């Protein structure tokens, strides 16, 4: 029995779906979908400043950084690049009130996008109504700013992943996101295919953690990822000096 990714690839071969299979992408096209990320605990301002500079140089979607650096990064970048930060990260078991406070503080300090972690224990207990309410509380705090919901796929069963797709689809959030990158695994192609199959129209998908290279990133995009959370792609573009307008 083929898995989710294989089933999705089969769907791409059906009439009207060939465009997905054959779609050409340049390095620049992929980099535009990247949240250039640095969330490691020992991160310093010099390292954050470097990824800000690289994000601007390579035209990524945003920089995703720890909350403690948001104000400094936002002041440094100005209008050159949106700042994204993480809330309830990486474990997700902060109270909703704490997550709302974190969100409001981050936005006040200049964040333009928020990536929140769900309470995974609630998912395990089937308390999806509580997860939905929490997501909507954070989106209320975000207003017009983008909210992405990290469900930590590596800790969920397939049934729980589908229920989380339904929950995020029913919420006011903008994106569902696979992973924090701080648990047992990151994004997988079957999980992105599952999200594409179960998310409501208009909701977007972010794959994060473990994206190996540009070819890997292209496959995630073809499967349905609208954003990619990674630091590797910019690092590889820097080291290899790639022609950004060349096809991947």
Q: What is the pLDDT along the chain (248 residues), one digit of tens a residue?
A: 344 444 444 444 333 333 345 589 999 999 999 999 999 999 999 999 999 999 999 999 999 999 999 999 999 999 999 999 999 999 999 999 999 999 999 999 999 999 999 999 999 999 999 999 999 999 999 999 999 999 999 999 999 999 999 999 999 999 999 999 999 999 999 999 999 999 999 999 999 999 999 999 999 999 999 999 999 999 999 999 999 999 99
24 burial class (0-12, 13-18, 19+ CB within 10 angstroms)?
A: exposed
Residue 244 lies in a domain: no
Asked, for residue 243, whether it belongs to a domain, the answer is no
In a domain, 20, yes or no: no
pTM summary value: 0.91
Most distant CA atoms of the chain, gap in Å:
52
**Does the residue 39 lie in any domain?**
yes
The predicted structure's pLDDT at residue 192: 98
Element (H, E) at 149: strand 146-150
The pLDDT value recorded for residue 4 is 40
Residues with catalytic function: 115, 177, 206
Structural domain harbouring 156: 4-9+25-236
Query: 71 in a domain, yes or no?
Result: yes
Task: Show the CA angle centred on residue 128, arms to residues 181 and 33, nearest 5°.
Answer: 35
> Quick check: is 120 in a domain?
yes
- CATH (domain of 81): 3.20.20.70
Helices (H), the chain: 4-12, 18-22, 27-31, 45-58, 70-77, 96-108, 120-124, 128-142, 158-170, 189-198, 214-223, 232-240
Helix axes 70-77, 45-58, angle to 10 degrees: 40
The total of structural domains in the chain comes to 1
Contact predicate 109/74, CB 8 Å: yes
pLDDT of res. 22? 54
Q: Is residue 171 part of a domain?
A: yes
- The DSSP 8-state label assigned to residue 77 in this structure reads H
Q: What is the pLDDT of residue 165?
A: 98
């Amino acid at each position: 029995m083929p898995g989710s990714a294989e089933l999705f690839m089969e769907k791409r071969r059906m009439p009207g779906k060939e465009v997905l299979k054959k779609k050409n992408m340049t390095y620049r096209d992929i980099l535009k979908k990247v949240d250039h990320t640095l969330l490691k605990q020992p991160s310093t301002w010099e390292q954050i400043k470097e990824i800000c500079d690289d994000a601007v140089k390579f035209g990524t979607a945003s920089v995703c950084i720890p909350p403690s650096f948001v104000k400094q990064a936002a002041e440094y970048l100005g209008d050159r690049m949106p700042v994204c930060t993480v809330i309830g990260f990486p474990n997700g078991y902060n109270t909703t009130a704490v997550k709302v406070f974190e969100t409001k503080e981050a936005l006040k300090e200049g964040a333009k996008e928020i990536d929140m972690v769900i309470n995974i224990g609630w998912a395990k207990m089937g308390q999806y109504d509580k997860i939905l309410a929490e997501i909507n509380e954070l989106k209320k705090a975000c207003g017009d700013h983008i909210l992405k919901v990290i469900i930590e796929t590596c800790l969920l069963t397939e049934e729980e992943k589908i229920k989380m797709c339904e929950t995020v689809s029913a919420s006011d959030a903008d994106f569902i996101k696979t992973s924090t990158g701080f648990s047992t695994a990151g994004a997988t192609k079957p999980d992105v295919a599952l999200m594409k199959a179960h998310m409501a129209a208009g909701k977007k998908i972010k794959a994060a953690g473990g994206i190996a290279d540009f070819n890997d990133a292209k496959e995630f995009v073809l499967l349905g990822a609208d954003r990619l959370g990674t630091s590797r792609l910019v690092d590889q573009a820097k080291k290899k000096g790639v022609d950004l307008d060349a096809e991947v």
